[in-house]
Chains A and B, each alone.
Chain A
Amino acid sequence: ETGVTQSPTHLIKTRGQQVTLRCSSQSGHNTVSWYQQALGQGPQFIFQYYREEENGRGNFPPRFSGLQFPNYSSELNVNALELDDSALYLCASSPFGGALETEAFFGQGTRLTVV
């Protein structure tokens, strides 16, 4: 087990609603990244948090936002849900902010379905 835990595991929301997904990073890891994985595709980088600050963002609209807490856990918030937001949302933690060559430890993901 990687030690990264995500909740909930599955979620069904209605178009237009808002959702919050949660991630607890592996012990000792201060960096958390979020990815969206559509069916049959590779994960796509949403953003990363390092020591409670956003530290890089992918090509996602502002309705995707996040937080990191002092204990390094993190939340991903998505407003005004669209059908295309249906995907597996993955959280990954790593031990050193800014380090380019370390393993990223992924959680099992949250399967979000928007209807």
Chain B
Amino acid sequence: GENVEQHPSTLSVQEGDSAVIKCTYSDSASNYFPWYKQELGKGPQLIIDIRSNVGEKKDQRIAVTLNKTAKHFSLHITETQPEDSAVYFCPGGATNKLIFGTGTLLAVQP
């Protein structure tokens, strides 16, 4: 949705642990929820997305869950690895005008 709040702003986990990042949106009409990962020195890259007709989507160690009633969606990373360290964004808006917040800085400690 247009306005999206993301928590936490920073997250530090031990390698092998799970990480969860949550985003809350306000627009009930929203039906597309992407997650982007930005590694240091690189542009953001889509890692997973979900549409409103689906409650959960998985891709190997990454999953996204959507709770339309509560208007929030979450990114779940299991068995975290050092290469998961990056900034994660759940932008609102649409593909032609993504609205990014400050993201979540995930640090995976070896």
Chain A residues close to B by CB (< 8 Å): 2, 4, 31, 33, 35, 40-45, 48, 50, 55-56, 58, 90, 92, 94, 97-109
Contact = CB atoms under 8 A, between A and B. Distances in A.
A56 B96 contact: yes
Max chain A C-beta neighbours (<10 A), residue from B34, B49, B96: B96
A8 to B, nearest CB: 15
Contact size class for B?
20 to 34
B97 A106 contact: no
A98 B51 CA distance: 18
A55 B97 CA distance: 10
A100 B51 CA distance: 12
Contact of A43 (B32, B45, B46, B98): B98
Given A42-B100, A97-B96, A106 B43 contact: yes
A108 B42 contact: yes
Interface of B: 31-32, 34, 41-46, 49, 51, 89, 91, 93-103
Given A31-B96, A101-B32, 9 more contacts: A42-B103, A45-B93, A45-B98, A56-B97, A92-B43, A94-B96, A101-B31, A103-B95, A107-B43
A83 B85 CA distance: 30
Max chain B C-beta neighbours (<10 A), residue from A33, A35, A42, A90: A42
A104 B46 CA distance: 7
B96 A103 contact: no
B46 A103 contact: yes
B96 A55 contact: yes
B43 A2 contact: yes
Nearest 9 Cβ contacts at the A-B interface? A42-B100, A106-B43, A100-B94, A101-B32, A103-B46, A102-B95, A43-B100, A45-B97, A106-B44
A43 B101 CA distance: 8
Contacts of B103: 42
12 contacts: A31-B96, A42-B103, A43-B98, A48-B97, A90-B43, A99-B95, A100-B94, A101-B31, A101-B51, A104-B46, A104-B98, A107-B43
